[in-house]
Amino acid sequence: MLEPLKSKIVPGLKENIDAIELVVGYPAVPLTVDCVIFGFDENSLKVLLIKSDLAQFYGKLSLLGDKVNANEDLDTAANRVLLERTGMKQVYLEQVHTFSQPNRHPGGRVVTSVYASLLNIQDHSLEITDNELNWHPIHLLKEMAFDHKEILDCCYAWLQKRIQEHPLALNLLPEKFSLRQLQHVYEAILDTKLDRRNFRKKFASMGLLIDTHEMELNVTHRPGKLYSFDHAQYQLRKKNGVGIDF
């Protein structure tokens, strides 16, 4: 018969504490998750926000968040929060940063782990709209509840860096797209006007676009060529440590 595990006695230690006793002695600090959901629509970058229901922040906009339950890991909690707040499923979330300033919450110390995502608004309907849940243009946001403006700014900087290294922009476009559409995505997320010739030259040099030999239809401007993304070439570049080099 196997004997139950016992705490190892280490000579020289003042006392021997088992794992449970050790954790019981830790300070109780609430752990939460917040979701920063970026959306692209009509050549504009937006973020999904609610109205805070806390008296101190009455009327102010807030990110989607909640506590992490005792039986959840952080990823599970973030996906639950997104589902319960919006009804959206199968949205890829990436952990971005942890905010732990002792005074970031008016009720006491709360540590939050922040997740972010980028999606095409037209592809995801909001099944739940409690607390006036809605999309808000990034550039119009000035003040938010808690430290959520700081969190949003951090995630926005993360997104701007990621889009220059990974093909996130392609997830916002149809399977066949024009270079004009691609440039609009980058301009909206980077919040800058890009030189048309240099932009096209840069993407051409990466060899990631496949000419479909088709043209845009029913557009008010001069029709442009349609391209598709070369996933195989991207994986090859990524294997060589390059990926998107914008």
Task: Pick out the chain residues at pLDDT < 50.
Answer: 1, 14
Q: What tens digit of pLDDT does each residue of 31-67 get?
A: 999 999 999 998 999 999 999 989 999 999 999 999 9
User: What does the pLDDT read at residue 61?
Assistant: 98
Thinking of the domain 167-239, which architecture would CATH place it in?
Orthogonal Bundle (1.10)
Helix orientation angle between 179-190 and 148-162, rounded to the nearest 10 degrees: 140
Residue 37 has a pLDDT of: 98
What is the CATH architecture of 31-162?
Answer: Alpha-Beta Complex (3.90)
Helix (H) or strand (E) holding 33: strand 31-41
What pLDDT is attached to residue 245? 76
Upper half-sphere CA count for residue 169 (Cβ side, 13 Å): 29
Closest CA to 245 of 196, 210, 214, 201: 201
* Positions of CATH 1.10.10.10 in the chain: 167-239
Please give the model's pTM, rounded to 2 decimal places. 0.87
CATH 3.90.79.10-classified regions of the chain:
31-162
What is the reported pLDDT for 66? 97
